[in-house]
Amino acid sequence: MAVNFATKRDSAYLTESTLQASEKGEYLVESHNVFTWFPIKGGLFSRTIANVRAVDGVSIGVRRGEVLGLVGESGSGKTTFARTILRLVNPTKGEIFFEGTDITKLKGRKLQQFRRRMQIVFQDPYASLDPRQTVRSTLTEPMKIHHTVQNNREANAAAEKLVESVGLNPDHLARFPHEFSGGQRQRIAVARALAVNPEFLLLDEPTSSLDVSVQAQILNLLRKLQSDYELTYLFISHNLSVIRHLCNRVAVMYLGRVVEISNSDDLFNNPKHPYTFALLSAVPEPDPQTRFKKRAILQGDVPSPIDIPSGCRFRTRCPYATKKCAEEFPPLVEVEPGHWIECHYDIDYKVAKP
């Protein structure tokens, strides 16, 4: 049914991360064993009585110029991890490197310099734009704060160029957000992120609040901008079709940890972790013959991040769980070159019975 890693590849156990196999300088952004916990206070002296373990030891690297997708159900910790990477939330433990500099140790002006290079586009363009600011000031204000322009004339010229690059026109600069459709607002949000010449863009479900017809336009725009400006993306989504359309590699998150990471084709054609297999089985396919003949149905909800199951955290929902899964934390193993999973077994889904 499955190859048991404990018997087959003791020597191949990796305790920390896929980063150990990387070459120096390969990654623009790296997270090393990052934890983001939120304490719950209680009792007479308001002591910490539990922790919400939103991110629970994530080590991944985003290669320069790639689009790395981050998928998982809601509650898997994707957004908290993304915000931790940008230092919008401070990690409880761990290191985050941007081009070799540990940004968890930076403060004040130095941190602000790195912030310019790492920008975010939020899910909801209705909430993320200031309704009292025109598009012009939405775009020129960050340029002035980060000193990427010398004067107003330069800022206005840059704003005109930016709106054109996202498919709007300079006449739009004088308008307010409420005068635009959802898709146009998201174009403005993308332009604002690009206003300070970043190298890394974190896209947090950028199309999920838009109509399906508009989603494809925004995805195509993001793809074009990535190539025009040589950007690196971390693209967060729960929509696997969107991830497949845009990403070179994909990391799958479950209950605060990355349980599988691989290049996109391998992950979609040959998923190895039972959680990924179940997520992909749930995607409707026009021709079922072309996809997995066997299907896995995810039972129940993601357990609470306050009370994480022992051993493998997916075991309460995994149809292949064994006694060992409850007792031992699964290692991160490279099952094929560049394809890593956090599981005790290498399951062959063609023959394995849940």
**Rounded to an integer, what distance in angstroms lies between the CA atom of residue 309 and that of residue 23?**
34
Residue closer to ligand SF4, measured from CB, 320 or 349: 320
Supply the minimum distance, in Å, between the C-beta of residue 341 and ligand SF4. Answer: 8
Count the site residues for ligand SF4 by CB under 6 A.
Answer: 12
Residue closer to ligand SF4, measured from CB, 117 or 324: 324
Cβ proximity of 239 and 73 under 8 Å: no
Helix (H, G, I), strand (E, B) or coil at 175: coil
**What six digits make up the tokens of 324?**
């060992």
Contact flag: residue 254 with ligand SF4 (CB under 6 A): no
Contact flag: residue 274 with ligand SF4 (CB under 6 A): yes
Angle between helices 152-165 and 182-194 (to 10 degrees): 130
Of 290-329, which residues contact ligand SF4 (CB under 6 A)? 312, 314-315, 318, 320-321, 325
Helix (H, G, I), strand (E, B) or coil at 160: helix
**Rounded to an integer, what distance in angstroms lies between the CA atom of residue 65 and that of residue 217?**
21
For 150-241, strand residue ranges (E) read 200-204, 232-236
Residue closer to ligand SF4, measured from CB, 185 or 344: 344
Residue closer to ligand SF4, measured from CB, 122 or 320: 320
Helix (H, G, I), strand (E, B) or coil at 303: coil
Contact flag: residue 5 with ligand SF4 (CB under 6 A): no
**What six digits make up the tokens of 152?**
């107003």
Supply the minimum distance, in Å, between the C-beta of residue 344 and ligand SF4. Answer: 4
Contact flag: residue 253 with ligand SF4 (CB under 6 A): no
Residue closer to ligand SF4, measured from CB, 200 or 314: 314
For residue 18, the 8-state DSSP code is G
What are the residues binding ligand SF4 (CB under 6 A)? 274, 312, 314-315, 318, 320-321, 325, 330, 343-345
